[in-house]
Amino acid sequence: MRTQPITLIVLSLLLTINIAFAKGKQHEKHMDPQAMMELYKKLATPGEPHKVFASLAGNWTTKTKEWMEPGKPPMESEGTVEMKMLLDGRYLQQEYHGTMMGQPFTGISINAYDNLTKHYVTTWMSTTGTGIFTMEGSASADGKTITLEGKHPEPGGGHMSHLAIWKIVDNNTQTFDMYGAHHGGKEMKMMEIVYTKKP
């Protein structure tokens, strides 16, 4: 019968693949448990980006401009922000109180620098919805200009993409500029926030 030689060929191929896979596995380096623990400890230790975040802790006032349509004058509002570090200096929380489109508004942002990925990550939740908006990006060499990108679903389908530029001008001043594009359309400036630290 012809099935026996075919079966032997298939078994031989499988055996060859398994041997090659096993040899490849032998070349992989298995990290020593103690070295692994040291690495995780290092990754969990706040560094320079976290020190920059810590310098922002305190109370701030804000002046916000929001553009609803290109070429139209922005809506302007004022607000307050409390910034504080969480979990022994690992994360910066911002709690914002103000108005948006003429209505009272509260928002909370958690900002992180991930030592493993070398990326900044920010999450945003507010009284304008029930979802969590996430952005991710990188910073300039001095850590004072953070550029973030993200997107969120829109009613009716599709997504709106965002680009945010967060500048830490000095210990008393920050700016946050947000740009967006609906359904892959033309990008426009949507928001500008100027933060001034309270004495």
For 29-80, write each residue's pLDDT tens digit.
Answer: 677 888 888 888 899 999 999 999 999 999 999 999 999 888 889 999 999 9
Task: Mark whether 126 and 189 lie in a shared domain.
Answer: yes
pLDDT number for residue 125: 97
**Coil, helix or strand at residue 199:** coil
CA dist 50 and 14 (Å) reads 51
Q: At residue 115, does pLDDT exceed 60? A: yes
Domains held by the chain: number: 2
H/E segment holding residue 152: strand 145-153
Residues in a beta bridge with 104: 99
Task: Mark whether 62 and 152 lie in a shared domain.
Answer: yes
pLDDT number for residue 30: 76
CA 16 to chain centre: 45
Task: Mark whether 171 and 91 lie in a shared domain.
Answer: yes
CA dist 68 and 75 (Å) reads 8
Among the listed residues 63, 50, 51, 132, the one whose alpha carbon sits nearest the alpha carbon of residue 96: 63
The pLDDT tens digits of the residues spanning 140-198 come to 999 999 999 999 888 888 888 999 999 999 989 999 999 998 876 789 999 999 999 99
Instruction: Name which of 84-88, 97-101, 122-126 the model is least confident about.
Output: 97-101
Better-predicted residue by pLDDT, 23 or 49:
49
DSSP of 107-137: EEEEEEEETTTTEEEEEEEETT-SS-EEEEE
Q: At residue 27, does pLDDT exceed 60? A: no
Better-predicted residue by pLDDT, 189 or 26:
189
Task: Mark whether 39 and 103 lie in a shared domain.
Answer: no
Q: Check which CATH number belongs to the domain holding 119 and give it.
A: 2.40.128.20
Q: How confident is the model at residue 28 (pLDDT cuts 50, 70, 90)?
A: low
CA dist 181 and 160 (Å) reads 6
Backbone angles phi, psi at 68, to 5 degrees: -85, -35
Q: How confident is the model at residue 13 (pLDDT cuts 50, 70, 90)?
A: very low
pLDDT number for residue 11: 43
Residue 28 lies in domain: 3-43
pTM here? 0.80
pLDDT number for residue 40: 84
Task: Mark whether 130 and 35 lie in a shared domain.
Answer: no
